[in-house]
Structure 1
Amino acid sequence: MTEPETIAAQTVGRIDPSVGALIPPIHPSTTFERAPDNSFPEGRIYSRPDNPTYAAAAQTLNALEGGAETLLFSSGMAAATAVFLALDPGDHVIAPKVMYWALRGWLADFATRWGLRVDFVDLADATALEAAARPGETRLVWVETPANPMWTISDIAAAAAIAHRAGARLAVDSTAASPVLTRPLSLGADLVVHSATKYLNGHSDVVAGAVVAARRDEFWDRIRMISARNGAVLGPFEAWLLQRGLRTLFLRVRAQSRSAQELAERLATHEAVSEVFYPCLPAFRGHDVAQRQMHGGYGGMLSIRVRGGAAAAIATAAQVKIWKRATSLGGVESLIEHRASVEGPGTPVPDDLLRLSTGIESTSDLFEDLARALDSATTGSAESVSVAAP
């Protein structure tokens, strides 16, 4: 059996048969020629659904997740919303109370106006999910684990069992874990969704999304149709860059997970930090579940609450040198962000929280840079820093 590290590094073992190249080519063509008998012997008609550059990245991710088929999209939001758009108006769906803010906003606004009935539930609590599920009415349970930005852990196997008893499908946003750490389909999920912009690409130079299906069925056919007809597909150059990133996925995620764990453990005792959100910590809610369903690490994302409130948190972000003040996550460079400023009014995120995306720099350098900024921000310099959103 080929190990997943080999699958990722060697692009599922693909070799370009035309020239013997080890790296898949980019096919920029938007259209493909018919044969004289009016057929398409290569099976491709038009680039939107059929560009061959997509195949390498899609097949690699599909193999890593253990899926039946994978679709690539132009963004993580395009991938996620395609799943919800495959439902019928009137269908009931369950989503986490704390989740990626842009998708939560889309569900609360567009999805409800379009006709979906959406309940936001604490999905770290399986009993709350059980109570919210409506047999015969609930059609989709959406789990994000670890959930952005407080890295809440949901029990995928338990959620799958509850969803299936109600006659619903379970979709798991596994962006923060990646297939390196968690394989949701093996735990009973029906769909896995990724913002491939993040860990799958890993170089902060591609916006992309992906959906992986456990099986091909009528619902999957709807998602395929939405992908082709709505046109939210990945360009060939972006697909090629995504495949480039997948080749180093295991090296990056494992290094980032080790670094994040060390940072979490050291920050947990820092006097300027009131709370650390990271699944490796024994006191973290969901630690036991994370131990069961995450393998080889707990991911590169953590968040901290800074003593002194929002002003001290923003002042900390203002004074780092190595960490970069920027939105996103999963790249090789470490990022810091005052998350409440980004999400705006109505966010459930505490205003003293900083979200940290650990890159592949020296862990010692990262800790020293952040500790110095924390010390400075919480000893008097924070008062002069504005709390306004950037």
Structure 2
Amino acid sequence: MESKDMKFGTKAIHAGLEPDSATGAVMTPIYQTSTYHQEAPGIHKGFEYSRSGNPTRSALEQNIAALENGKFGFCFGSGMAAIDAVLKMLQPGDEVLSTNDLYGGSYRLFTKIYAQFGIKFTFISMSEMSEVEKHVTEQTKILWVETPTNPMMSILDIGAAAKISKKYQLTLVVDNTFASPYLQNPLDLGADIVMHSVTKYIGGHSDVVMGALITNDERIADQLYFIQKSSGAICGPMDSFLVLRGIKTLHLRMQRHCENGKAVAYYLKNHPKVDKVYWPGFEDHPGHKIAKAQMSDFGGMISFTIKGNKKDDAFTFLSNCKVFTLAESLGGVESLLCHPATMTHAAIPKEEREKIGVVESLIRMSVGVEDIDDLLSDIENSLSLI
């Protein structure tokens, strides 16, 4: 059965995977090797050196590509390495037009590393895509979209972005980390490249750091493979194996993330000590209609502020949760808490952070798959100390 004919759960378990030809092993083996035997110079079984290709990594790349309805997948040593590979497609003088509400690590790589090599980065609000077109110049080569955004949970219209990119022959890149392939498939909506921090929902168990890029464009795929092979920011076979294992429950985990996320979002919204709650499932969320159209559910990522906007109150809440863990990252089976202003988005200048809503009392939640009663009790106990 072709992967394109499979439903998502079946693809997660089977797409791109075959029993091991040597032993019949059902699970993809960990090919812990750096090099491969050749019968004669240039005559081999498809693998020469593990930087350019490894059977475990190749199986994972095919599987992830299938989840995004893509033809070509590439896995890297981290999400940042994946973003780095995209930027290496550019030339000095080129411009990236990016949303102003994005992951702090992306902002840091853009402004502190690639800007000094002559790449221009322009950060704008993309809540209204009709306004984005006004900022396109002859130098613009990439339209960088993140949706839902990190950490403000804004929803950007991928289809509208695709129309702009096609009109001006731009490469549309969508960071799909917060949604995962289970909730959203940007290639189907017109994106050229989908990026994932595989560390998050795809891996799902907080035990691997990895990134991925997926495309249907053969020209782009050829460029990305050349960059991946030449720069060498690959992931190892053990990590590839762990992510393949994690993916097999992605659909099951995401269902629970969404259920728990909804319950937590409504609980926070009705709590007297909570001010604003950012979650696209609310009908009064500015991007709710778009989210409903381009996502299959609203996910388990939530951001909220505490009334009074005091940093000390946020720290009191963060330090007293027992089930939620205060830590970087997101998307694992365990529930995590983050203070964006001092953690994930500290690289963004304070005035720029606060323009988009990353204030001192903003807390980001990655709602896990624990029992919902324990999560709600943990939130209540911690809020009661403020």
Where on the TM-score scale, by shorter chain, does this alignment land: which range? Answer: over 0.9
For residue 273 of structure 1, what is the aligned residue in structure 2? 274
1:21 aligned partner = 25
The TM-score with structure 1 as length reference comes to 0.93
Per the TM alignment, residue 212 of structure 1 is displaced from its structure 2 partner at its CA by 0.2
Q: Which runs of 5+ in 2 are unaligned?
A: none
1:243 maps to what in 2? 244
Match of residue 378, structure 2, among 328, 348, 369: 369
Mapped partners of 1:323, 1:374: distance in 2: 13
Deviation string 1:51-90 (CA, Å, 9 cap, x unpaired) is 1111221111111111120000000000011101111111
Q: Secondary structure at the residue paired with 1:313? A: helix
**Partner of residue 255, structure 2:** 254
Count, aligned residues: 373
Runs of 4+ in 1 over 4 A off after TM superposition: none
Greater mean deviation of Cα atoms: 197-206 or 44-53: 44-53
Q: Does 1:44 align with 2:44?
A: no
Distance 1:209 1:70 in 2: 11
Residue 192 of structure 2 corresponds to residue 190 of structure 1: yes
Identity of aligned residues (%): 36
Instruction: Say which of 346, 351, 365 aligns to 2:360.
Output: 351
Residue-by-residue CA offset, 1:214-237 (whole Å, 9 max, x unaligned) = 2111x3322222111111000110
**After the TM superposition, which of the residue ranges 221-230 and 358-367 deviates more from structure 2?**
221-230
Of 16-25 and 169-178, more deviation after overlay is shown by 16-25
Q: Offset at 1:11?
A: 4.6
TM-score after normalising by structure 2? 0.94
CA distance in structure 1 between the partners assigned to 2:44 and 2:112 by the alignment: 45
* Deviations, residues 120-164 of structure 1 (Å, cap 9, x unaligned): 011122122111112x43110010000111111100000010111
- Where 1:276 maps in the other structure, the secondary structure is strand
Alpha-carbon deviation of 1:38?
1.9
For the aligned residues, what is the CA RMSD? 1.2
Q: How does 1:176-325 map to 2 (within 5 A)?
A: 176-217=178-219, 219-295=220-296, 297-308=297-308, 309-325=310-326
Q: Out of 153-162 and 4-13, give the one that drifted further.
A: 4-13
The aligned counterpart of 2:120 is: 117
Is the 2:17–2:28 contact (alpha carbons within 8 Å) kept by the matching residues of 1? no
- CA deviations 1:335-379 (Å, max 9, x no partner) are 0112211133614111111110011101121111112211212xx
Taking the TM superposition and a 5 Å limit, the aligned residue runs for 1:59-208 are 59-134=62-137, 136-208=138-210
SS at match of 1:31: coil
Matched, 1:32 2:41: no
Secondary structure of the corresponding residue to residue 147 of structure 1: coil
CA contact 2:17–2:63 (8 Å) conserved in 1: no
Letter in 1 for 2:102: M
Aligned-pair CA distance for 1:323: 0.5
C-alpha distance after superposition, 1:3-58 (max 9, x if no partner): 111011235452112222210001011001111x3233302110111111112211
Question: What per-residue deviation string (whole Å, max 9, x for no partner) do you get for residues 242-297 of structure 1?
Answer: 111111111011110111011111211111110001000111121111010001x1
